[in-house]
Amino acid sequence: MSNYQLSLIMLACISIITVCGVFAITSLAGMFSLGQASYMAISAYLTFCIARYQNLPVWVTSIIGLAGCALVAFVIGMPTLRLRRDYLALMTIGFGQMVQSIIILLDKYTNAAIGFSKIPKVNNLVYIILAITVLIVFMVRNLKYSRFGRMCIALKNDDIAARSFGIDVHGLRVKIYVIASLIAGVGGICYGLRNRVISPDAFDWSLSAEMQILLFFGGTNSLTGSVISAACLKVLPEFLKGVKLFGIDLQNCKTIIYCLLIIVVINLRTKGLLGERELSLSFLRGLFAGKPRDREGGEST
Amino acid sequence: MSGPILKTEHLHKNFGGVIAVQDFSFEIREGEILAIIGPNGAGKTTIFNLISKIYQPDKGTIEFDGTDITGKTQIETARMGVSRTFQNTRLFTGLSVLDNVKVALDFAGKYTLLEAMLLLPRRFRTEKETTARAMACLKLLELDRYAEARPENLPYGIQRRVEIARALVSDPKVLMLDEPAAGLNPEEVFQLVDFIRAIKTKYPKLAILVIEHRMDLVMNLSDYIYVQDFGETIAKGKPDEIRNNPLVLKAYLGEEE
C-alpha cells in the first residue's frame, strides 16, 4: 500500500479511537463534553515533550502522558461532574481553551503556535495504531455490556431512580470521565505519531465538537454505528479529491457536502444512522433475509 | 416478636412555608403490610422521599433495623435494604426488562472496571450469577416471559410489576410502593392486589409499605393503616377501624351533607 493509503487508514483509526472515548462519556453516561480534544493535547504534549527533553523512548513517556491525562481528568471531573448537562458542556469548552492557552504560554518547551515537531519516527506505525484501535473498540464494547454499562444507562435515564438502587452516581460519572479522557489521550498520542507535528490549534474545541457530530451521526447509542461513521466521515473528504461534478471540483465544496450529509441524517433519523441498534451478524442476517426485524427501542421517543 | 424493622419518630419537613409532613411517627415490623393513605397533597410521597433520603428531614429520626439512619445518604439507605418504587414508573428505557432488574444488583457486582473492559473470567462469573438471580426473581413473580422485552413497549400494569420486581431482586427488608395503582384500570388493580399478596407469601419476612389513595385497594391489602391529611396523621388503626372513623370519612369524602 502506498504511504497515502496507510495514512488514510491511520486517520480513520484515530477518529475511531477518539469517538469511542466520546461514546463512553456521552452515549453511556449521558454527559455532553466538548473538551475531549484537550485531553488529546495534554497526553500528546506530555508524551512527546518528555520524550524529547528527557531522552526517553516514546512508549515509556506515553505512560506518563496517559497518567497525567487521567490525573487532570480526575481533578477536573470531581467537582464539575455534579453540574447539569449543559453547564458541563460549557465548562468543558472553557477547560479546552485553558489547555490551549497553557500550551502557548509554555512556548519554551512546546514551541507554541508554530507546533512541536520533534516527534520520533515509529516503524510499522499503522499496525500499532490498528491494534490499539481494535483493543479500544473491544474494551468500550465490553464496557457497554458490563454492569458499568447498565448502571451508566440507568443514571443517564434517571439519576434519582439510579441512586435508589444503590448506584454511586457521582463516582461512576468520574470513573467514566477518566476512562473517556484516557481514550482521548491514546488518540492524541496516535495523532502525534501519525502527523509528526502537534500544535495547539489542532486540538481546539471544534475537534471535540466534530467527535460529538460523528457520534450522533452514527447513532446515539450504537457503538458500531459510531465507529463506522467515525471512519467513513473522517476519510470522506479525501475521496472527493479530483472528483468533478458539472465541472466543479468537489474537493472545494467538501465542507458543504459534509454538512449537508449531516443535516440530512440528523433530520431524517434523529437518533443517528443506527439509532440504538448495534450492527451484529444476526442483525445483518435479518436485514438480508428480508425479515421484518423488531424495531423495539429504535425509533421510540 | 422482634422490634420494628423501620421506625420514624416525629418526622418533620417544610418546603418554604408549606408544611409537607408534620410530626409523623410510625413503625413497621417484618412481614407486615402497612398503608399510608390520604388525599392528594397530604404529604404521602414526601414521607417516602424522607425515608429513602431523597430529602433530608428537618426534624425527627428514622431508624432501620435498630440503627439510626437519619443522617445517611440516599445511596447508603438503598444499599442497607430499603427499596422503593416510584409514583410514575421509572423504569430505565434503553435497557431490557431483565437488564432493568439486573441493574438493581449491579452496585454490588464483584468485578472492577478493568476486568469488565478486558473481559476477564470474574466478569463472566459475576454476570452469570446476576442474570441467574434476576431471572429467578422474574420467574418467582411470573414475569420471566417479558425478560427480553423493552419496558416502554409493555402495558402499564406489567411495567408496574416489573418495577416492583426490580425493587425486590436485591432482597430488601423494606419495600416501599408509591401509589402502585396509579394509572391502572380496574382489572389491572385487581391483578395488582393479587400480585402484592403473592409477594407477601413468597417473601414472608418482607415489610411492605404502601402509599395509596384508593380505599378499596388499601382495605383489602393492609394490616395497618395510617391516614394523612395536610401533613398530619389524623387516624391510624386496623382497616375496620379506619373504615368507620368519622375523621377519615370527612377528610376523604368531604363533609356528609
Could you give the ipTM of this predicted complex? 0.87
Of B79, B86, B93, the CB nearest to A166: B79
Task: With CB atoms and an 8 Å threshold, state whether B116 touches A142.
Answer: yes
Q: pLDDT under 70 in chain B at which residues? A: 1-2, 253-257
CA distance B244 to chain A (A): 37
Structural domain includes residue A232: no
Task: With CB atoms and an 8 Å threshold, state whether B118 touches A142.
Answer: yes
Q: B86: which chain A residues are within 8 Å (Cβ-Cβ)?
A: 161
The pLDDT, as a whole number, for residue A50 is 92
Structural domain includes residue A121: yes
Query: In which region does residue B221 sit, left (phi positive, over 0), alpha (psi from -120 to 50) or beta (all else)?
Result: alpha
Burial class of residue A70 (count of CB atoms within 10 Å of its CB; 0-12, 13-18, 19+): buried
The pLDDT, as a whole number, for residue B84 is 92
Cell, residue A87: 453547564
Task: With CB atoms and an 8 Å threshold, state whether A157 touches B84.
Answer: no
B15 reaches A (C-beta below 8 A):
no
Structural domain includes residue A95: yes
Question: Is the distance from CB of B30 to CB of B205 less than 8 angstroms?
Answer: yes
Residue B108: closest C-alpha in chain A: A166
Task: Quote the longest CA-to-CA distance of chain B.
Answer: 72
Q: Model confidence over A56-78: pLDDT tens digits?
A: 998 899 999 999 999 999 999 99
Cell, residue B107: 452496585
Ranking A99-108, A191-200, A202-211, A286-295 by mean pLDDT, the lowest is A286-295
* Candidates B74, B82, B88, B107, partner chain A, best to mutate (most A CBs within 10 A): B107
* Candidates A146, A156, A177, partner chain B, best to mutate (most B CBs within 10 A): A146
What is the tally of structural domains in chain A? Answer: 1
Q: A163: which chain B residues are within 8 Å (Cβ-Cβ)?
A: 54, 74-75, 78
Task: With CB atoms and an 8 Å threshold, state whether A166 touches B94.
Answer: no
Structural domain includes residue A274: no
Structural domain includes residue A67: yes
Q: B92: which chain A residues are within 8 Å (Cβ-Cβ)?
A: 153-154, 157-158, 161-162
Residue A289's pLDDT band (boundaries 50, 70, 90)? Answer: low
The pLDDT, as a whole number, for residue A9 is 92
In this predicted structure, the answer to whether residue A20 has a pLDDT above a threshold of 90 is yes
CA distance B159 to chain A (A): 15
Residue A291's pLDDT band (boundaries 50, 70, 90)? Answer: very low
* Candidates A25, A134, A150, partner chain B, best to mutate (most B CBs within 10 A): A150
Structural domain includes residue A114: yes
Cα separation values, B100 from A62, B119, B202, B244, Å: 39, 22, 21, 42
The pLDDT, as a whole number, for residue A10 is 93
| C-alpha distance across the termini of chain B, in Å | 45
In this predicted structure, the answer to whether residue A299 has a pLDDT above a threshold of 50 is no
The pLDDT, as a whole number, for residue A281 is 67
* Percentage of chain A exceeding pLDDT 70: 92
Structural domain includes residue A245: no
Task: With CB atoms and an 8 Å threshold, state whether A150 touches B102.
Answer: yes
Task: With CB atoms and an 8 Å threshold, state whether B113 touches A148.
Answer: yes
Cβ-Cβ pairs closer than 8 A, A with B, add up to 109
The pLDDT, as a whole number, for residue B254 is 65
Cα–Cα dist A40/A73, whole Å: 11
The pLDDT, as a whole number, for residue A296 is 39
Of A140, A154, A175, the CB nearest to B92: A154
Other CB atoms within 10 A of residue A131 CB = 11
Q: Which residue has the higher pLDDT, A49 or A256?
A: A49
Q: Model confidence over A145-176: pLDDT tens digits?
A: 999 999 999 998 888 899 999 999 999 999 99
Of B83, B93, B109, the CB nearest to A147: B109
Instruction: Output the pTM of the full model.
Output: 0.88
The pLDDT, as a whole number, for residue A287 is 64
Helix H, strand E, coil C: the string for chain B is CCCCCEEEEEEEEEECCEEEEEEEEEEECCCCEEEEECCCCCCHHHHHHHHCCCCCCCEEEEEECCEECCCCCHHHHHHHCEEECCCCCCCCCCCCHHHHHHHHHHHHCCCCHHHHHHCCHHHHHHHHHHHHHHHHHHHHCCCHHHCCCCHHHCCHHHHHHHHHHHHHCCCCCEEEEECCCCCCCHHHHHHHHHHHHHHHHHCCCCEEEEEECCHHHHHHHCCEEEEEECCEEEEEECHHHHHCCHHHHHHHHCCCC
In this predicted structure, the answer to whether residue A290 has a pLDDT above a threshold of 70 is no
Structural domain includes residue A187: yes
Q: Model confidence over A231-240: pLDDT tens digits?
A: 988 888 777 7
For residue A80, the one-letter residue type is T
The pLDDT, as a whole number, for residue A41 is 94
Q: Residue A140: which domain range?
A: 3-203
Residue B123: closest C-alpha in chain A: A146
Q: Which of residues 132-191 of B touch A (CB under 8 A)?
A: 149-150, 152-153, 166, 170
The pLDDT, as a whole number, for residue A107 is 87
